A and B are shown apart, each in its own frame.
Chain A
């Protein structure tokens, strides 16, 4: 299934930049960055659970926030892209 992850990490708080970097690293391990703090991850439910736990541990729930949007398996007709940095689909033929 496709999961969209967005985050806000407060960089003005203590250790904020460090958390921001960690969150982006963790997201990158599971999916691709489609915009600055937006990731698209094609994961199964186990991987999704693991990712959720991993990210929750990193952030400071007092000042940061995470949002997960589950787009399911038939996500193709749910995503439109306009403009630069077209993302690739992880389930289409990957030929470089």
Chain B
């Protein structure tokens, strides 16, 4: 913070408001410069490079050249639209599940936990610190063929229904869409719970009492008071869940099969194994565009533009 040292000492003789000196006016820019430069060089510039890569043709041996070959985009979409649709579908399902599972827990922490609040919060945050790959591998054990979970679901005939829906295969959960969505939901739940908790915690408990005094049932209180007031948390929670989930490939690779591959997987393979850079770049540009458009529309519709 050497910047503050450079600022001139506070005027002690002149109580009148002075126009800030040029040096002082530059303070915010000096504060911003290193960080913003970092983001420009290592975040914005790479995106431009990627844009240029996506319209190149050539091969690894002969080298790539910008030829404005937009056909790559159409070819990539034609080849990989199942993976795209699947990614958005899985990420969307996981987000809805996160909201359904996360809301009660966030509510519990905010209003019902009392002196247990800190402990529950710790239990929500602490799993974060065990590498998420290790935890995802643990799901392999939990959902294993012939394991307890599969047994219970089988006995209750749940698997018959889900297999008919195409979510599982008979007697299997692992390597099916259900396993992938389960992993995604699990992985991104904390990103839903924490914003929900923050916005629920801000709600004045007296509002609930007031609603009760006005003869609102608990359900009505929730519908008319609690939920609308928690909207900022719902919006940021769904975004924090959906965005990373749509680009994830870890769950699909570890818990799924070749039939559950998501678009992140394709981008990774094209980039790191096939070395078809233009296709990989085009794919990740399409993913970025889809996510950004979805996010913008969603933020507009939910009317919390000040969120950003």
Q: Do A and B bind each other?
A: no
Interface residues of A (CB under 8 A from B): none
Interface residues of B (CB under 8 A from A): none
